[in-house]
Each structure stands twice: as C-alpha cells, then as structure tokens.
Amino acid sequence: MPTTKTVEPLTDPADLEALRQSLETKRRELLSLYAHDVRVGQESNDESADDSVDRANNSFNRELMFSLSDAERQMLILVEEAIDRMAKDEYGHCTHCGRQIGLARLKAVPWARYCIDCQESEERGILER
C-alpha cells in the first residue's frame, strides 16, 4: 500500500551533479576494491601451504575474497545502472512504479532504483516483477 508522503523532487541541477559525482566516486571505489579482492584471492596459493590446515585456511580466505568480490560486483551493477539512468534522463524515478524517488533518499542511497514503498515491498519479498 503506497504512502501519501510527499517527497522532495530532484529539480536542482547542482543536486543532480552532486549525485553524479557521488556515483562516480562509489564506482571508482568499488572497482578498486574488486581488483584488490581478486588479486588477493589469486595470490592465495595452496602450493605454499605445508599441511592440510594451512591449505584449508588458504581456501577459506580465497573463497572469502571471491565472495566479497561478488558483493562488490552486485553493488557496482547498481551504481552503473544509476549512472545509465542519469544518461537516459530517467534517474530519480522508481524503476518499478515510476514515482519520483525523494531527494533525501537519493542523497542517502544515490544508486536507489526503487521509491520507499517499492523498496519496502522488495525487502519483504512481495514486489511484483
């Protein structure tokens, strides 16, 4: 059930530029973290381990690095989708219902693709695709 709360629209070009810069900064940060995680995961080598405990620890650390990379990859996808929506002049509108996403929400989560109502439905697992 949608709320009737009024949201402050994204109308100021300076706000849009600040959000664009925030997204670009987050994108660079994620790319750097991803590259680091992959490098560390690849450098973790079982051959240098002397016993099965060392090999198990190396394997665990490698899996952890790759799982972190996956989470970073997912976040990067959201950031790049937001940048793409900016380029298409679709940024600031819910990708599900089309309503405007409030400026406060965009400042907090610049890669937000859903309005608050749709995000809450997504988190409850009831957002219809």
Task: Scan for tokens 């750097």, then name that residue.
Answer: 32
Q: Is residue 93 one of the residues assigned to a domain?
A: yes
Q: What is the model's pLDDT at position 24? A: 97
Instruction: Give the domain CATH number at 70.
Output: 1.20.120.910
> Mean per-residue pLDDT for 30-49?
67
Q: What is the model's pLDDT at position 120? A: 95
Please give the helix or strand (H or E) that residue 97 lies within, else none. Answer: none
More confident residue, 41 or 63: 63
Q: What is the model's pLDDT at position 46? A: 47
Q: Is residue 5 one of the residues assigned to a domain?
A: no
Most confident of 22-26, 51-55, 125-129: 22-26
Tell me which residue range forms the domain holding 69.
13-124
110 pLDDT above the threshold of 70: yes
56 pLDDT above the threshold of 90: no
The terminus-to-terminus CA distance of the chain in angstroms comes to 16
How many structural domains compose the chain?
1
